Structure 1
């Protein structure tokens, strides 16, 4: 009887562990890649999510462009992604948008805003990455 309970407990634990792994989705995959410094797969995941309106993913793309993580540093592109995320209510993006704007000229901000308009108008097909 005791052996049966132990085997049953092991099987239950294995099922629970398997179901936890099944819960992980694109966000978790992207963050795992980002946190280990594997930026190319992270960008792929976050870009897809961002194109579908995910504000958190848009914010992360902004951070990656601001810091030059897996992409060349680009304040205009960072501004663009932060502005998308901020419009969708991402609080961190609002702060990041203010910070990156402080480092940009009026012309650079204007360029970033034009990029954002073109990107949104094309349903994210004509975004400059």
Structure 2
């Protein structure tokens, strides 16, 4: 009986650790409700195949885009890298440069410097015209309003 009780307690604790804290909606619910932090985390989970999710770059792109369009610089950088390497989307250096430029502009100090290096690494493989187009797109970009279901 004691062993059964211990097993039940251990199972209950393991299940509780997998879910959100009490009073907080699950990650997918918060993401679907427009929470950019939840969208970013869900995208990372899809990209890495963690949190009980199968690795899925298309889903990662979808959730990063929702967060990036709300101005999250880490989602912008992540979507830029998906475009840079063609993960879940066709390889597109103009889009990569644009998103990495937005992320660079929205951060400061060492973070901004690191993101600028990533942006510039994409730029090495681009024409002057492509860089100009990416820069124009970044300048014209505006955050999207949060869409709630």
Match of 2:106 in 1: 88
Match of 1:27 in 2: 40
Match of 1:66 in 2: 84
Q: Work out which of the two has the higher radius of gyration on C-alpha atoms and give 1 or 2.
A: 1
Deviations 1:2-53 (A, max 9, x none): 6797378447615642445867533332112112441111111000100111
Mean CA deviation greater in 87-96 or 12-21:
12-21
Match of 2:128 in 1: 106
Aligned length: 123
Computed over aligned residues only, the root mean square deviation of the Cα atoms, in angstroms, reads 2.8
| Structure-2-length-normalised TM-score | 0.67
Matches within 5 A, 1:49-60: 49-60=67-78
Alignment gaps of 5+ in structure 2: 28-37, 50-54
SS at match of 2:135: helix
Matches within 5 A, 1:109-120: 109-120=131-142
- Residues 67, 11 of structure 1: CA spacing in aligned structure 2 closer, same or farther, 3 A cutoff? closer
Alignment gaps of 5+ in structure 1: none
Match of 2:97 among 52, 58, 79: 79
Match of 1:45 in 2: 63
Segments ≥4 residues shifted beyond 3 Å: 2-12, 18-25
| Structure-1-length-normalised TM-score | 0.76
Higher relative contact order (CA 8 A, sep 6+): 2
Q: How big is the shift at 1:116?
A: 1.4
- d(CA) in 1 for partners of 2:89, 2:77: 15
Match of 1:6 in 2: 6
- d(CA) in 1 for partners of 2:48, 2:14: 27
- Residues 7, 105 of structure 1: CA spacing in aligned structure 2 closer, same or farther, 3 A cutoff? closer
